[in-house]
Amino acid sequence: MFVKVISMSVIGMESYPVFVEVDTSQGLPQFATVGLPDASVKESRDRIRAAIKNSGYRFPRSHVTINLAPADIKKEGTGFDLPIAVGILAAEELIKEAALQDCFFIGELSLDGSIKGVSGVLPATFKAKEIGIKSVFVPEENAAEAAMVEGINVFPVKTLPDVVEFLGGRSSIEPLSLDISKIFQKTRKYDLDFSEIKGQKQAKRALEIAASGGHNVLMIGPPGSGKSMLAKRLPTILPDLSFDEAIEVTKVFSIAGSLNKNEMLIAIRPFRSPHHTISDAGLVGGGQTPRPGEISLAHLGVLFLDELPEFKKNALEALRQPLEDGTITISRSSVTASFPAKFMLVAAMNPCPCGYFGDRVHNCRCSPQQIRQYQSKISGPLLDRIDLHIEVPSVKYRALSDKELGESSATIRERVNKARDLQKKRFGDNGIICNARMTEKQIRNFCQIDEEAHKLIDMAIEKLGLSARAVNRILKVSRTIADMENNEAIKSSHVAEAIQYRSLDRSLI
Ligand SMILES: Nc1ncnc2c1ncn2[C@@H]1O[C@H](COP(=O)(O)OP(=O)(O)OP(=O)(O)O)[C@@H](O)[C@H]1O
Ligand SMILES: [Mg+2]
Ligand SMILES: [Zn+2]
């Protein structure tokens, strides 16, 4: 007998329908899979056989052939266990073929017949809806994410018998239906707030500029000065995520297998802070089955690299392309996958190896040579993509014990939104959305400055030893500062402030 069951292969951000074709025929007992299944699909044969037997069903004593079609699509992951088992049991007529109409199955089987969660259920369910599927059968732990897709029945299943008995009409399963807009409203709140940061007026101002223009930043300061604290709160002053953006972020998390059981929607901007010992693949993505890395988990949010000089050169090198393009492509011999990676980069470092160069209280124990060497670790191409260098000095005890709360994130975010609206209008359909992403041509068009401002820049190059390539960054940041004041013209005061944020071009010693 021949039966067809629908499942899905998720490659990169794309999902492809896969038809699990099961044929049972007379002949020697055999269980064969064809259709280019990868190693994990082959392994699934043993799991499926055990799961069927241990669920109390009989595994066919005939010739069983499984074909995963189309052949030219790579089949990734363990999610085919469930559709294959369902197909076999349907071929054995334990399930009527008609019951499989318009259904989609995904899930990994344990040897005892229970169904384990898999990655990529959210994008797979979206695709299922798109191709006209009416009902999806997903592992219970993935049910909430699948329920974020409207207009499709989501059946959470825990065991293989759950599915078989339901499809056989012998039991019922309540489809999971969630109030999506209520969940969206409820989850789009941050636990942290800018008002908790005492003092640090200049650093806060610089982060507001960064948020307003989408600029990458580097914070330089001694241990404990609040760099991590500031960075963690940057997402809270960025514009709110739209529902579609929230879905996009959640899809990446779903594919990475990083969603918790009760986390169906990520409605706030992600903040990711990988440790400096992270592998290249962990940072930018990779693996035999390409998985998103930290830069994609930070998509539409903030990637925080604490102790920047400690990161391996390779890893930082690998960041260059995604910083430019907003996406990362991972190529393997058998498959190529792309993941989005539009993140704001926030890096932090101490000014010197001991951490206290330039500090008011502690003495620095480093030699000028040591300091130069430490700072030069991050010079070059990466630094070129960071518009703002923020000095974060330690806050005096008196300021820390101040009871008064600072400005709230909501208030700052409102101003950021206004500045971003101006930029949207300016760039229109040009495809870029913020000042930080201006091309050289756009800089020439939109960042014209008067004679006084020109003089300031000349002086900065001569007297402070600013590098010439810093000039474009200064112009972009000046544009943002002018936008924050709702000023079409860039004034010399804007340029003067922007020059202050290039401390590493001046070299600190
Ligand atoms: N401006 C501030 N307002 C309120 N609390 C602060 C401030 N600065 C520092 N703190 C307190 O000090 C702690 C340490 O700050 P944080 O971890 O952000 O420092 P850091 O600059 O990242 O240090 P390190 O270089 O060691 O990573 C914070 O958790 C916070 O409690
Ligand atoms: Mg820190
Ligand atoms: Zn030092």
- Mark out the alpha helices in 326-464 (DSSP H runs): 368-376, 397-400, 409-427, 440-446, 451-463
Per-domain residue ranges of the chain: 2-167, 187-428, 438-509
In degrees and rounded to multiples of 5, residue 142 shows phi and psi of -105, 5
Residue 414: predicted pLDDT: 97
Using a 6 Å cutoff on CB, does residue 221 contact ligand 1? yes
Q: In the CATH hierarchy, which fold is given to the domain comprising 2-167?
A: Ribosomal Protein S5; domain 2 (3.30.230)
Residues 160-178 have pLDDT tens digits of 999 999 998 999 999 999 9
Which amino acid is located at 434 in the chain? C
Q: Whose CA is nearest to atom 1 of ligand 1?
A: 198
Query: What CA–CA distance (Å, rounded) separates 496 from 181?
Result: 45
| Spacing, Cα 408 to ligand 1 middle (Å) | 18
Q: Whose CA is nearest to atom 11 of ligand 1?
A: 226
For residues 283 and 320, the answer to whether their CB atoms sit within 8 Å is no
Residue 398: predicted pLDDT: 64
| This prediction's pTM | 0.93
| Spacing, Cα 170 to ligand 3 middle (Å) | 73
Using a 6 Å cutoff on CB, does residue 198 contact ligand 1? yes
Residues 47-63 have pLDDT tens digits of 999 999 999 999 998 99
Closest ligand relative to 225 C-alpha: 1
In degrees and rounded to multiples of 5, residue 141 shows phi and psi of -70, -15
Using a 6 Å cutoff on CB, does residue 200 contact ligand 1? yes
Quote the Cα angle for 255-260-263, to 5°. 95
Residue list, CB under 5 A from ion ligand 2: 228
Q: Which CATH superfamily is domain 187-428 in?
A: P-loop containing nucleotide triphosphate hydrolases (3.40.50.300)
The Cβ of residue 316 has, within 10 Å, a number of other Cβ atoms equal to: 22
Ligand 1 atom with least separation from CA of 199: 1
Which amino acid is located at 309 in the chain? P
DSSP string, 148-202: TSTTSEEEEESBHHHHHHHHTTSS--PPP---HHHHHHHH---S--GGG--S-HH
Ligand 1 atom with least separation from CA of 230: 18
Low-confidence ranges of the chain (pLDDT < 50): 509
Residue 10: predicted pLDDT: 92
DSSP string, 302-321: EEEETTGGGS-HHHHHHHHH
Residue 69: predicted pLDDT: 87
| Spacing, Cα 395 to ligand 1 middle (Å) | 9
Residue 504: predicted pLDDT: 77
Which amino acid is located at 40 in the chain? S
Residues 284-337 have pLDDT tens digits of 998 878 899 999 999 999 999 999 999 988 888 889 889 988 999 998 877 889
Residue 506: predicted pLDDT: 66
| Per-residue buried b or exposed e for 227-240, using 16+ beta carbons within 10 Å of the residue's own CB | bebbbbbbbbbbbe
Q: Is the peptide bond before 270 cis (omega within 30 degrees of 0)?
A: no
Query: What CA–CA distance (Å, rounded) separates 208 from 105?
Result: 47
